[in-house]
Structure formats: structure tokens, C-alpha cells
Structure 1
Amino acid sequence: MEQFLRQRSAHHAAGSIRAYGSILRRLATSANKRVGSLRPADFEDFFYGPGGLAEKAGRGTLAGYRNRIKQFLSYCHRREWHRLGPEALLDGIDNRSGSQNRNRYRMTRAEIRRLIAAAEDPRDAALVWFVGCTGVRISEAIAMHVRDLSFAKGELYVTLPKTYEEVTYPLSSDLEGALRSWLTHYTEQVGTLKRSYRLFPPYHRVKFAPGGGLTKAGQYNPARPISDPGGDILHPMAERAGIELESGDGWHTLRRSFARILYDDAVHLGHDAALRIVQAALNHKSVKTTERYLGLTAERKQFVQMIKGKPFLTVDLDPGKIADLNERRAGRG
């Protein structure tokens, strides 16, 4: 660490070096192990564990911490002091503060359907159906092509941007109906769909066309991805639907909503591994990341309310012989 700081001091101001030194020394104290022994879980604990950075730091501050640690890990990786690169070690760190992530807005099924009903374009409705039924990231959704959809097999093929791994998703019956309806409209607009076409295309912009004249605005452009799916699509839809999205909310709100709905369904159906099911669906490497998506703080509070000051192993005995601890404390007052 000291060697890294000395090298940085040749090109950075003293204040910047102090900031690097402060966070790296806190990391060293928290992890209490050599650099080569650090694992992704150590960084997740440092950021999101009890007393971690996310309890008090906001999103911007966390991003700064993550960037400084990333620079240090890159330095170590180039010198082969650690076999894992910074991306792998920091994969579970999303720069969001713990309080923000636990309390972020999650839509119900009814709210998602209301959002879909507010769509003015069949493409936009299909895109919300897609993310709402699969939980994929919006970057993964708009990167898809027509060839990535198989109605015959009931499958979707999504490429993960971090690893370029292709993951197969199941096609639910309602999503299939929505996609069939959208592709029918899409075909009517551009003709027979080629396998290389974008599944969710943007519009052509008004511009001069070859040979003179203007390209007609409003036509789909199957060759390019959507550039701003948040500002151009989701936020206007939410406003029309009467759904208030706070600063920072967007397509990831749908991903979190999918996760929570799937988790609640799995618990209701009696699946013992509900959390692992959601982890697999979201392609999270760490179950701690999944817990933050689900916002399990409410369940934690309910657990505390169920247990604190009440009998547990003796609850099946004669209630008359059991004194509620809260009532006893109140009586003393």
C-alpha cells in the first residue's frame, strides 16, 4: 500500500493522496489480511456489512471509495500480487448506499401493468413486459436481436455484458403474448424481420436521405440500439401512469421489482431456497447483492417484532404463567 501511495504522490496532489491512504488503511484494518488473500466477500463486508461504508456514505461518496480501491487493486494485479483483477473483486459493489438500496421503490404487479397500459408505442409496452418478466438489465434488453428469441423452445438468450456469457431465460406465457403482439406490429412497420434486427429498435432521426429528401421521422431503425431508454421511454410512461419515480429510479426499479415479486412467489409456494432462486434469476455472484435488491430490511424488522420481549420456546405453555417482557418493563416505569 505504501509503495502504491508513493507512486501516486508523484502525479497527484497531497489531498488526493491522503484520501487514497485513508480509505486503503480502513480497508486494511477491516479485512486484516494480505492483499493476495482478499476475496470479493471482504469488499462486500467492507462496503455493506455491519458498520460498513454504505451505512453513512451516499452514492457519490461510495463511487469515489470504489474508484480509489479499484486503482489500488489494478496496481496490485499488474504486479501479480493478486490473481484476480479489480472487476472480479469489486463485482458486488454497486456504489449505492445501504440505506438507499434497502428503501428503493419496488413496483407491484398492478403498478407494472399500469405502467404498460400508459405506453403510447407497442415497442415501449413490450420493453416493460420484457424487463418486468425477466429482471434483465436494460442494457441487456436493448442489446438483444430478433435471433435471441425462440418461441418454439420458449426461451430467450441474453448476453451478459460483464462476462459475455449467454444465459437462457424462460419465456412466460404473458411475455410471449406481448412479444408476439409487438413483433406483429414491428413487421407491419419495417417488413419481414431479419434475425440481425434489434428486438427493440429506436426511431430514425430526421435527416437528409441519400438522393435528396428527408428520412421520415417515426420509422423504426432496426440496425441500431435505443440510446436513452430511461429519458425517452420509461419516465414519460411513469408520469402518464401516475407513478412517481424518484431521482435515481429507472429501469433498475423494474429489475428490483421483478426480484421482489419472484422472491415473494417462491416463499408463498414453499420453496426453501427462495433467495437462491432469485440470485440465479438475476445472475448475481453474491447472495448479499440479491439481499440488497430484495430490500429484506422489512423482514428483519418483522423478525425483531416477533421475538423481542416475547416468549419463544415457552410460548406453548400456559399463557397465564408467562409474563410479556414489554408489559413487565412498562410496569416498572
Structure 2
Amino acid sequence: MTDTALVSVSEPVDQTEIDELPASNVPPEAQRAAALVAIELDRIQQAARNVDRIASDLELIAVWLRNQVSAHTRSSYEFAWNTWQAHSPGRPLADTTLADLQDFQAALAQERKPGSVNTMMSALRSVFAMAHRKGYIRSNPCAEINDLPNPNRSGTASALSRRILTRTEVARLLEAARPGRDFALYLMLYHTGCRVSEALALRWEDLNLEGLLPTLTVLQGKGGKGRVIRLSERLRETLIELRPQDAVPDGLVFATRTGRPMARNNAWTSLRRVARRAGIDRDISPHWFRHAHASHALDGGAPVQSVKETLGHASLATTSVYVHARNGGDSGLWLD
């Protein structure tokens, strides 16, 4: 036997009988009480729907990862979750405390740079916030976790200035790159300002190389936003040379010899080797071409709004950081 109360169900009542009852038979207090009960029942039902029948942490994590539009974000979040699980094996989300998360953050800080730690904690904030929003956990302990101070945060002008390649360095990298795929990829990153994940996801059908205005279409940029980017004549000619005669519309532009997608870490490793051949003793990454695109375009007189749209920035303030990050105080040359 259980303590669950049994609710008797009366026989169905003809609606016409209810409509014929005089309003005075239902006291105002009873009407208000019935309304409150209805509201509470609706709230409970809504909360139940929000749980989406999630019965375990594994199911919640699967839903959380599926909700990420960007494959790069999904991979980053999955890595952060697995790192957390390795630190606290078997600890359920519902039993996780603020102290547990602070201990994890401190452990990460002993081995990683502040930016990497903050990225991982941002991922955990996301999953705990979703669990709380859906009613899977009663409170969100991760909401109280603050980012570590990061003097090298890429959004600051001083840090960004150290990640901007000079025109000479870009030329040396292109000269040292292997002809074909690698050269085309680096030229693409520099001339379009694409993120490396966007470039590696491009398919031939995303490129318009034959029209008067050659373009590429980024279907899934950061935040799921798409954009169209004009191509330079040099880049168009390079891509036409790269395109195989038997290329299919949905074929990848930048693929391995076996036709498989090129991994981001392979692009990173390859560029490091090219940098060494070019005599560039800096810890560069493919994203530096994007920084160089913005800085050099602004140097050449491109409007900030145009650079913003090309890069796919959500805010003009983000693009304006490059104005402050450029090296060389040459504004006096513009004065009489």
C-alpha cells in the first residue's frame, strides 16, 4: 500500500446543466479558489513539459550538446564536460555544489592558462543553466563562478596587437606554404577573414566563382549566423585552380587526400610548420589571418562597418577593437 490518495471521479455532467446554474450558486471565494488551482495546475504541467522527460545526466548532456549549432562549440563543450567528469567521476549534476566547482576551477588553473580555464567554466555554466532552466536541478551552483583574470584576453587591444601579422609576415607565410590546398586555405583566411572552422566547412556549392561578383556564402557562422563575402580576383583564380575537374557541388573545398574533412588541429599544426620555414618565430594560429585581415583592411581605408559585415561580428564595438590594436602612430601624417 502507498500513501497516495485516491481521487474519485464522478459521472460526466451534462454541460447544459452547468450553463443553466445561476451564478449566485458559486460563491466568489470559490471562483477565486478554483482559478488559483487552475493556475497552479498549469504551472506544474508547464514545469513537467520543460523537463522534456529527461531522466538522467547523460540524457541532459546529450540534449545540451545537440542544441549547439556550431560543431566547434559542440566539440569544445564536450571536452569541457569530459574534463569535469574526470575530475569528479560519478558526481550527479543535482549533487554538485559551488565548492565542487571552485575546486575544479582551481585545479584547472594549476595546469592551464586563464583563457582556457574560463572557456571550460563557461561550458559548465551553460549546462548547469540549462539543467536549472528545465527544472532538472533545483539551483544553479555554477552561476556564482567568476572568470579568472586574464590579461591576455584576445578582446583587449593590447593582447590583440600581439596577434596581428604584418603584411610582410603574411607574404612570407604564403610564399612558404605548399602549393594547392594549403596555399589556398591561407589565402582564403587572409582575404576573407573567415574563421578556420568556417573555411574548412566550405563546399564548392557555397562558392560563386563564375559570376561578375565572385562570392562565398558562410552558411553557419558563429552563433548560427550566415553571411556573403566578396572574393578578390586573386582568391577566385586560386580557387578555380584548386577545384578538381570532377568536383561535385557538395564536395569539400579543403579536404584530405582521401576526401575526408580537414581537422582544425591539422590546419593549426601545418601552419606552425610553415611559420618555421618562413622564419616567423611566433606561436601563431590560423585565426591570426583573421586579425590580419581586419587590421590591414582598416589600414587601407576600409569602413569599419564593411569590415564588421565581412567578419560576421555581431557588434561594431568588437570590430572597433582593431582600430585601437593597430601598431604605428601614423595619424600625424594625415594632418597639415
| TM-score range for the pair, normalised by the shorter chain length | 0.5 to 0.7
Post-superposition Cα deviations, 1:171-225, rounded to whole Å, max 9, x if no partner, equal 1111112222223xx44xxxx2222221112123xxxxxxxxxxxxxxxx2xx21
Aligned-residue identity in percent: 23
For 1:96-175, list aligned pairs within 5 A: 97=153, 101-153=159-211, 154-175=214-235
Structure 2 gaps, min length 5: 1-91, 105-112, 136-149
Which residue identity does 2:256 align to in structure 1?
A: P
Whether 1:280 aligns to 2:309 is: yes
Unaligned runs of 5+ in 1: 1-7, 21-56, 80-93, 205-220, 268-273, 307-333
Report what 1:63 is aligned to: 119
Contact 1:62 1:95 in 2 (8 A): no
- d(CA) in 1 for partners of 2:193, 2:95: 43
Q: 2:96 is matched by which residue type in structure 1?
A: H
Task: Report the 3-state secondary structure (helix = DSSP H, G, I; strand = E; otherwise coil) of the residue aligned with 1:194.
Answer: coil
* CA gap 1:138/1:11 in 2 versus in 1, 3 angstroms: same
In the alignment, the residues of structure 2 paired with residue 238 and residue 139 of structure 1 have an alpha-carbon distance, to the nearest angstrom, of: 20
User: For 1:17-55, what per-residue CA distance to the aligned partner results, in whole angstroms no more than 9, with x for missing partners?
Assistant: 5579xxxxxxxxxxxxxxxxxxxxxxxxxxxxxxxxxxx
State yes or no: 1:296 paired with 2:285: no
Q: For 2:96, which of 3, 12, 19 is the aligned residue?
A: 12
User: Which residue of the partner structure matches residue 40 of structure 1?
Assistant: none
Instruction: Indicate the SS of the match to 2:95.
Output: coil
In 2, Cα distance between the equivalents of 1:78 and 1:158?
32
1:225 corresponds to: 261
Q: How does 1:1-333 map to 2 (within 5 A)?
A: 11-12=95-96, 15-16=99-100, 58-71=114-127, 73-75=129-131, 77-78=133-134, 97=153, 101-153=159-211, 154-183=214-243, 186-187=244-245, 192-204=246-258, 221=259, 224-227=260-263, 228-246=265-283, 249-266=284-301, 274-292=303-321, 294=322, 296-297=324-325
Instruction: State the secondary structure of the residue aligned to 2:301.
Output: helix
**For the residues of structure 2 that align with 1:266 and 1:76, how far apart are their CA atoms?**
48
SS in 2 for 1:296: helix
- 2:257 counterpart SS class: coil
Query: Residues of 2 paired with 1:10 and 1:76: CA distance?
Result: 9
Normalising by structure 1, report the TM-score: 0.55
Shift of 1:290: 2.3
Contact 1:145–1:196 at 8 Å: present in 2 too? yes
1:252 positional shift: 0.4
Describe the shift of the 1:298–1:118 C-alpha distance in structure 2 as closer, same or farther (beyond 3 A). closer
User: 1:75, CA displacement in angstroms?
Assistant: 4.6
Change (3 A) 1:167 1:95: farther
Matched position secondary structure for 2:178: coil
Superposed CA RMSD: 3.8
Residue matched to 1:46: none
